[in-house]
Structure 1
Amino acid sequence: MLGVTDQAPVDTIPENSETEQASALVNKEEDETAACEQPPDGIRGAGKLQERQPPEPVRQPTSDDEYDTDLEVEEEKKTYNLSAHTMYLEVCRTFGLIPVKYFLNNVHSTHLKMRHHGLGAQGAFAISVPLLTNTSVNFLDLADNWLEEAGGRAIADMLKENLYITELIVSQNKLGSEGARYFFEMLHLNTTLMTLDLSENSIGDSCAEELESGLLDNGNLTVLNLGNNDLGDKAGKSLGRVIAENDGIEDLDLSWNKIRRRSAVALCEGLKNNNRLRRLSLAYNGLGNEGAITLADALKSNTGLADLDISCNRIHQQGAEALAKGIESNESLKILKIGLNPLSCVGTLAILNAVGSERSGITLLDLSRIEVNKEFVIREQEVVEAKKVRVIRGLQLENYVIKGPPKRSTGNQSNESFSAVCDPE
């Protein structure tokens, strides 16, 4: 049996040990509380707090983490950092197209001339994707690429967003009325395009309303070419209203269309209220005498038109004499092209006299393939010397004396009569 002295130490040691442990635990909690109340970085004592905080364990990336990180970086490049070359090549790969080397080499230049490349509708869509955000190209020539309606839509949709292209040529692309309609609708949104060439696209009259609406809503377009598009009476009347109200267009080409009679009169009426238009081509239409008379009235009040082409328009002597009166009182017109019209010798002389008048400002008179008489030639020399006018005309008709046929006879007498008529004096 153990004594008391042997058991006492055993009982006191656990008590003292528990007390010390409890005291140490209280002191540790107080220290941690004091440490949490230390000021933030930059204030005195902040360095001690940072020394007390243990460093966070470094987490080693797993194979899954590395795969996710690479995928995210790659997606970010595709979304934000794709170059024009990359976008174009990806679209070509999607549609199975052969990339056009010229486009890849010149997509960052200011002028992009891609005539006769055979792009087609899919090729037009392929280049429209990188051009959507392109900031370098300001001149785009896509003439004769067989774009048709779908390709025209791709280019027109691109121009709704692109604010850097100022000149566009899409002539000879078989757009038709539906393809052209997309470009007319684009004019409502685009505010930077200044030159638009839609010539030789068989547009017709069916989209005349869209043509009128787009041009009236757009005040930035200055050059418009609608030549050789089968534009008829409906389009002519719409364009007459456009000319009367649009204050932006300075150069309008309507040559090789079917603007005749009433539509020609309506179109020429628009010139009375327009002093912004500088060049107008109505060559190879059908103005006739009615259109010429209306045009002459417009010239009396118009002060802006400087270049007028009305070649081959079925204008006869009556129309020529009316035009002469309009030219006499117009000081702004500098170039008049009126060749290939049956003006007659009287009509051509009337126009020449008008050009030689005091108020007329014409410096070039083009009467190509119109024959003139001797009286015209004499007056021409006077006008050229007095006003330094350049005159282009056809051949001069001489004052021929037409003799009757030789009398019928036999033998040598017949030959003698024939020679007497034909031999020069």
Structure 2
Amino acid sequence: MPPLGALGRFFPLSWAPHLCVLDDPGGASNLKSSGLCSGLFSLSQVNLCNTSSLLLQSLLEALSELKTFRLTSSHVSSEGLAHLTSGLSHCHHLEGLDLSNNQFGEEDAEVLMGVLEGMCQLKRLDLSHLPLSSSALAMLTQRLSHMTLLQSLRLSHNQIRNIGAQHLAAVLPGLPELRKIDLSGNGIGPDGGVRLAESLALCKHLEELMLGYNVLGNITALELAQRLPQHLRVLHLPSSGLSQEGALILSQALDGCPYVEEINLAENSLAREVPHFHQGLPLLKQIDLVSCEIDNHAAKPLAASLALCPALEEILLSWNLLGDEAAAELAQVLPQMSRLKRMDLEKNQITACGAWLLVEGLARGSGIQVIR
């Protein structure tokens, strides 16, 4: 096995603060004494060619107790991927694996799926921004069925489409510890969205749900509203093909949820059906309604709903159709928002008169730090 310094000459490595640095001349060559066996191994923006990948393989083979491995935003050759998967197969105690944003061919992605076999202790898996083919995804779902400890699954921007969503929906109920899932930007339509909503309802511990930049439509919103996870904290559905009907259904389902901290419905055609709350959300910290075609007609119910969310820190309403009437309504409730730190109203139709009303409202009690 090569000394640590040899590997550091081929590509830069970043480590957790308590671990040795590879390009440090005094760095330990003894892996066990370095503390690396129980820590984090992170690579980013490297060219994993044949020589460097052989060194990496050799190092990983000695790290059987490694907990977290990250290789991101890198170019990986076919041979390099083979060396990587061989090395990772010796890391039997991995809890975190991040291979996002790497460049390799679709056929190589199938090779990558092979390394997941036997990784039954994984708690965090990130395969975002990869060229996952339908066959690679089928292999992935087979591997996922054995990862019963998995808590976080990120597969965004892979274009898995409806068929991929249906494959995933079949295995998600078998992940009892799942708390976070990100399937944003995958070309999923209403059929796949409905199947996912049905499946995710069985994930009893789910806290963060990110399905934005898919064409889910109102039918998926209806299915989600009927099956919202009990402990939901984060719901991201930007640019999801929702209209006024979908927004109304979701807001009714979310109203009164005790744990929700973030809601993102940006870039949907909500118009007058902005979230209407009657009970409020006691822990809501951020709401994103950017570019939702919201106009003055929605201002009063919007302001009333925001007033029922005492923990709000960030309100994003830029690129809408709000004017001075909306500014006046918001100004009335701003003094109640003692935790508000940021309000974004950029690119609306508010004049100097409306801006002055907002300033007066803020002066009466808000601790806001940024307003646009």
Do both share a fold (TM > 0.5)?
A: yes
CA RMSD in angstroms, aligned pairs only: 3.0
Q: Distance in 1 between matches of 2:117 and 2:127?
A: 17
Q: Distance in 1 between matches of 2:63 and 2:89?
A: 13
2:148 is the alignment partner of 1:219: yes
Report SS of the residue matched to 1:224: strand
Q: Distance in 1 between matches of 2:224 and 2:131?
A: 27
Do the aligned partners of 1:124 and 1:154 also contact (CA within 8 Å) in 2?
Answer: yes
Identify the structure with the greater strand proportion. 2
Match of 1:378 among 294, 300, 303: 300
Q: Distance in 2 between matches of 1:121 and 1:209?
A: 28
Write the mapping of 1:164-179 to structure 2, written as runs, cut at 5 A.
164-179=93-108
Change in CA separation of 1:157 and 1:308 when aligned onto 2, cut-off 3 Å? farther
Instruction: Give the Å deviation of 1:218.
Output: 1.0
Instruction: Give the Å deviation of 1:221.
Output: 2.6
Match of 2:286 among 361, 364, 376: 364
2:118 is the alignment partner of 1:196: no
Match of 1:85 in 2: 3
Gaps of 5+ in 2: 14-21, 326-372
2:63 is the alignment partner of 1:134: yes
Instruction: Give the Å deviation of 1:136.
Output: 7.1
Match of 2:354 in 1: none
TM-score (norm 2): 0.72
Report SS of the residue matched to 2:134: coil
Change in CA separation of 1:148 and 1:296 when aligned onto 2, cut-off 3 Å? farther
The structure whose RCO (Cα within 8 Å, separation 6+) is larger is: 2
Q: Distance in 1 between matches of 2:119 and 2:270?
A: 44
Do the aligned partners of 2:67 and 2:94 also contact (CA within 8 Å) in 1?
Answer: yes
Q: Deviations over 1:206-258 (max 9, x none)?
A: 32321211111111232222111121111111122232221132221111111
Q: Distance in 1 between matches of 2:12 and 2:254?
A: 53
Match of 1:335 in 2: 262
Match of 1:261 in 2: 190
Change in CA separation of 1:113 and 1:282 when aligned onto 2, cut-off 3 Å? same
Change in CA separation of 1:240 and 1:130 when aligned onto 2, cut-off 3 Å? same
Report SS of the residue matched to 1:243: helix
Match of 2:157 in 1: 228
Q: Deviations over 1:259-311 (max 9, x none)?
A: 11211111111122111222121111111122112111112xx2132111110
Q: Which has the larger radius of gyration?
A: 1
Match of 1:311 among 238, 249, 254: 238
Do the aligned partners of 1:159 and 1:190 also contact (CA within 8 Å) in 2?
Answer: no
Do the aligned partners of 1:309 and 1:336 also contact (CA within 8 Å) in 2?
Answer: yes
Amino acid at match of 1:312: S
Match of 1:273 in 2: 202
Amino acid at match of 1:384: L
Change in CA separation of 1:264 and 1:384 when aligned onto 2, cut-off 3 Å? closer
Do the aligned partners of 2:262 and 2:285 also contact (CA within 8 Å) in 1?
Answer: yes
Q: Deviations over 1:354-387 (max 9, x none)?
A: 3x42577644321122243334333344333343
Match of 2:316 in 1: 392
Change in CA separation of 1:326 and 1:212 when aligned onto 2, cut-off 3 Å? same
Q: Distance in 2 between matches of 1:340 and 1:144?
A: 28
Amino acid at match of 1:243: L
Change in CA separation of 1:292 and 1:126 when aligned onto 2, cut-off 3 Å? same
Report SS of the residue matched to 2:109: helix
Q: Deviations over 1:182-219 (max 9, x none)?
A: 44343331234332221111113232321211111111
Do the aligned partners of 1:254 and 1:281 also contact (CA within 8 Å) in 2?
Answer: yes
Change in CA separation of 1:100 and 1:319 when aligned onto 2, cut-off 3 Å? closer
Do the aligned partners of 2:120 and 2:146 also contact (CA within 8 Å) in 1?
Answer: no
Q: Deviations over 1:145-192 (max 9, x none)?
A: 211444334323322221344333222222444333344343331234
Match of 2:338 in 1: none
Amino acid at match of 2:47: G
